[in-house]
Structures are given as C-alpha cells and as structure tokens.
A and B are shown apart, each in its own frame.
Chain A
Amino acid sequence: MPYIIIISVVLLILIIGIALYNSLIRKKNDVENAFASIDVMLKKRYNLIPAIVDAVKGYMKHERILLTEITSLRAQALLDDLNNDHRVIIENKIQKGISELFVAVENYPDLKASQNFLHLQGSLNEVEEQLAASRRAFNAAVTLYNNSIEVFPSSIIASMMNYGRRTLFEIPESERENVSGKALLERQ
C-alpha cells in the first residue's frame, strides 16, 4: 500500500513537471516567433528605403547628405554579422533619418503631391504600423515568458533549463510619434 502512494506521488510530480516544461518551451518558442516577425517587418522596411530615396532625390536639393546617410545605414543594417545592440543603434538612426526626411518633404510641395511618393508613404506607414504591432506582440510574449520563469513552481524547472529573463523591446518615443509625423498625428 505505501508503495502505491509513493509511486502515485512520484508520477504526479513527474506529470506536473512535464507539463510545466512543455509550457515553458512553448512560451520560449512564442518569443522566438514574435522576434522573427519583427525581423520580417524590418526587412520590408529596408526594401522600401531605396525606393523612397529614389523618389525624393530628384526633388530634394539640400538634403543630399541625409539621403546618403540613410542609404549607408541601410547597407550596414543588412550586414549579417551584426550583434543585437549594434543593430538597435542602427535601427534608431534609420528611424531618425526617415523622420527627418519626411519633415523635409514638407518644403517640396511638388514632391508631396506626387502619386509615386504618396504611394511610398502609404507603404512605409503600413510597414511602420505592422512593425509596431510586431513589437507589441513580442513584448506580450516576453511578458508571459518572464512571468512563468519567475513564478513558482515553474521557476524551478526554468532554472534547471537555464532559462533567463528576456528584455522587453522598448518602443522609442520617436517611434510613438511615428514617421510621417503630421499624417499620423491626425489619427490620434
């Protein structure tokens, strides 16, 4: 009789352990998945940059330096051996450069009215909006994951698996304002 009790207790612990282990793995994969979706959106943005630069350079006379800078930043961002911190810095610079570019567009009424430019602006807004959504999805996945590795009893399994906290994506203030400042502010 005592054996049966011991065996059932051990079995129960084992089952709970497996369930917690699986749920941790699932949460970790969700985080990876969400991170990958950010990457997809960033790539979409990189693809748009040359088209935008092409569209504006015929009109813009005083922003040559800015345009060259954006192009070279994009080239850097596409390098494979970039570590994450460096990448975030370059991302922020690109973000800032594009914001400046769209502010400068205000000085060129012809450019602002051009169909091609409007189309590109729409596409960029789209990518930015999806990028923001991906970041929020990533943060939601990370919060779930962080909670479960810190809360008892899954924290025991997490420490056995060497799982550590992941950092949340900070959504920069400049991004909350978003690229084409004026147009996007209208939706607030």
Chain B
Amino acid sequence: MSEYKDFREFYEQELLPDLEIIDRKRKKVDRRVITVLLITVAVIIVELSLIPKTNDIRIVVPIITGIIGFIIISVFSKSYRQEYKNRIITRITAFVDEGLTYTPEGTIAKSEFVKSEIFPLSCDSFKGEDHFRGKLGKTDIEFSEVVARHKNKRRSGSGTKNDYTLIFRGLFIIADFNKHFRTHTVVLPDAAERLFGKFGQKLQSISPGRGELIRLEDPVFEKEFCVYGDDQVESRYILTPALMQRILTFKRKWNTTVYLSFLDSKVYIAIRMFKNLFETRLFKSVVDYSFMEDNLRFLILLTEIVDDLNLNTRIWTKE
C-alpha cells in the first residue's frame, strides 16, 4: 500500500490546487443545472395544464421538453467534465505509469472490437470513451470503455421500426500476447454447462461459426468458460494449465462476466461493467481524497492485467 501513501502526497501537492479550481466551477454548474431543472419542470407542468387531455401531443410535448432540458444540462456540464478529465485523470494516469497516455474522448477502434469476434451479433452502433494506451514493460496495451449495440429492424404496419439491443457495455482491452500464434481462439463464459452439465457440453459443440469446441482438462475452468478454436493444438499452446489458472483468478478478482479472444498474437479482453468510470460528479465536492483514490485503484487494477496474465514473460520466441 506504499503507493497510496505516495499518492496522498501527490494528491495534496499536485491535484488539490486544480481540484479546488474545478470544484468552484462545479458549484457554478450545479446552480445552472438546478435552474434548468426547475424551469423544465415548470414548463412541463404548464404544458400539462394547458393541453387538453384528449389531445395526443399531451404526452409528446412534455417528453420533448424533458429531453431539451437534459441536453441543456449536459451542454452546461460538458466543459467542466472535460476539464476534470484533462487535468485530473490525465495526471493520475501519469502517476500510475509514465508509459501510459490518456485520451478522454478516445476509444479503441470499432474494427478491433469486431475483429475479436467475441460477440456474434453485428455491431451497428459503437461508442467509447476514456481511452488509455501505452507500453507496460514489454507489453503494448490499450483499453477504453465501450458501448456496442445491434440494430434490429422490425416491420410494423407500413414502415420499418428500428430498435437497439445492447451487445456489450464495459471495458475492452487489447494487449500484446507473449507468444506467437496464427489461429483464433475465444474463451467465453459458459452458461450451457453450468445449467445443463454434460448435456450442456453437447450443446456447446453445436455452435455455428465458432470453430471447434476445445475441451480442456481443468474442470473448474471448463465449468466457468467454454473455449472455441480453429486448431486444437494451438488453442492449448495458448491456454496452458498455468494461464487457465490465471484467467480463473482474474475472473474472480473482477467478479463479473469476462470474455477473451486470442487473435494475431494479441489478447482481447472484454469485461462487462455498467458503471461509467473516470467520471466527475455533480452536487458533491470533487475535493475528496477517497474519490480520487477510487480512480487510482481502478487504473492500477487495469494495468495489473499485464501481470495477472503474465504478459511480460517472454521466454518463447516472441521478443
């Protein structure tokens, strides 16, 4: 925990002056947000009382008003959020590792997300933020928050109606793997086997477009994950008994759904998560050590992936 003691020093000397400036802005933003909220509510009440009950627009107009209010609020808070990320998160990033750079508006490329083939549904809407990239030891790594959606086209009456299904929300990580390989292997959470046991295993082997089912010898790993690969031997070359153990520990550490894909000598990791990370907050002071420490802890947890999966060990032919 020594780094946290250092971090307190860093917090007091480096972050505190900026946080105080940012917090003054937050108070201003808070006041504006409250004003906008009050006005919006007032307008909605007036609308509801003026428009007759039988009229269709009685629902539509207040909703539009609400949306406009929300947009105005997010415009007001945008510059404050940006400043917070640029000034504070950027410095916490440098504190964690000099080799890491942070781009608040950046994201991992959609093409990489699609290429990993973790999620079979086609990705029609892709958004991301809080992009980190760098070299940790020998390992190139990048990660960002990602929200990916699939568009469903439905025919209703005269026209088609679109709605979106959430494919994935969470953290997406791309890191250099410590071995060379040519084929593709995916490690997916195993719902079938946990629910149906042996019969579930049979179900897994019928999975179109996923390559062959790889049955691994670690029973605990087999219960948690289901592995598909193009090559029985190469998938095992990647997933050694030691790495299987590491993946299990990693999954338990994060305590959420984890997906992995091994492709082009890289590992793609998707960690499902609904919390929006590295954000500022409204109506509560940001001059708060524990709030900053949470950011630090989270970033350290992310950079630890390199050690968790032992990516820096290069005793094979990959330098």
A74-82, A131-139, A152-160 - the one binding chain B: A131-139
B215 x A144 contact (CB < 8 A): yes
Stretch touching chain B among A54-62, A64-72, A122-130 = A122-130
A126: chain B residues within 8 A (beta carbon): 179, 316-317
- Scoring A34, A139, A188 by chain B CB atoms within 10 A of each residue's CB, the highest score goes to A188
In angstroms, Cα B232 to Cα A140, docked, is 9
A133→B215 contact, CB < 8 A: no
- Which chain B residues border A95 with CB–CB below 8 Å? none
Contact in complex: A140, B317 (CB < 8 Å): no
Residue with the highest number of chain B CB atoms closer than 10 Å, among A34, A126, A133, A188: A133
B309 to A: closest C-beta gap in Å: 11
Confirm or deny: B236 has a beta carbon within 8 angstroms of a beta carbon on chain A.
yes
Minimum Cβ distance to chain B for residue A119 (Å): 8
Cα of A134 to Cα of B240 in the assembled complex, Å: 11
Is A180 interfacial (CB 8 A cutoff)?
yes
In the complex, the answer to whether A37 meets B317 with C-beta atoms within 8 Å is no
A136-188 contacts to B, CB under 8 A, are 136-137, 139-141, 143-144, 180, 183-184, 186-188
Docked-complex contact B313 and A129, CB < 8 angstroms: no
Measured between beta carbons, the chain B residues less than 8 angstroms from A141 are 232
B217 and A139 within 8 A (CB): yes
Contacts A139-B217, A140-B217, A144-B215; is A125 near B236 (CB within 8 Å)? no
On whether the beta carbons of B313 and A186 are closer than 8 Å, the reply is: yes
For residue A37, which residue of chain B has the nearest CB? B233
- Tell whether, in the assembled complex, residue B217 and residue A125 are in contact, meaning their CB atoms are under 8 Å apart: no
Task: Give B187-218 interface residues, CB cut-off 8 Å to A.
Answer: 214-217
Q: Which residues of B sit under 8 angstroms from A187, Cβ to Cβ?
A: 242, 310, 313, 315
A180–B236 Cα distance when bound, in Å, is 20
- Tell whether, in the assembled complex, residue B240 and residue A34 are in contact, meaning their CB atoms are under 8 Å apart: no
**What class of interface size applies to chain A in its complex with B?**
20 to 34
Is residue B237 contacting chain A, with contact meaning CB distance below 8 A? yes
A140 to chain B, nearest CB (A): 5
Assess the B315–A130 pair: CB atoms within 8 A: no
B-chain residues with CB within 8 Å of residue A186 when the two chains form the complex: 313, 315
Contact among B214, B236, B315 with A184 in the assembled complex (CB-CB below 8 Å): B315
Contacts A137-B233, A144-B215 hold; do A132 and B317 have CB atoms under 8 A apart? Answer: no
Say yes or no: A180-B232 contact (C-beta < 8 A), given A136-B217, A140-B217: no
Instruction: Enumerate B147-179 residues with CB–CB distance to A below 8 Å.
Output: 179
B159 to chain A, nearest CB (A): 48
* B315 lies within 8 A of A133 (CB): no
Asked if A130 and B237 sit within 8 Å, CB to CB, the answer is yes
**B233 contacts A129, CB within 8 Å?**
no
Q: What residues on A are CB-neighbors of B315 within 8 Å?
A: 121-122, 125, 180, 183-184, 186-187
Question: Quick check: B313 and A133 within 8 Å, CB to CB?
Answer: no
| Complexed CA–CA distance, A152 and B145 (Å) | 51
Establish whether residues B242 and A133, one from each chain, have CB atoms under 8 Å apart when the complex forms.
Answer: no
What A residues does B217 contact at CB under 8 A? 136, 139-140
- Enumerate chain A interface residues (CB-CB to B < 8 A): 34, 37, 121-123, 125-126, 129-130, 132-134, 136-137, 139-141, 143-144, 180, 183-184, 186-188
Q: Top 7 nearest A-B pairs by Cβ distance?
A: A133-B237, A133-B236, A137-B232, A126-B316, A137-B233, A183-B315, A126-B317
> Can you name 5 A-B residue pairings with CB atoms under 8 Å?
A34-B232, A122-B317, A133-B240, A136-B217, A141-B232
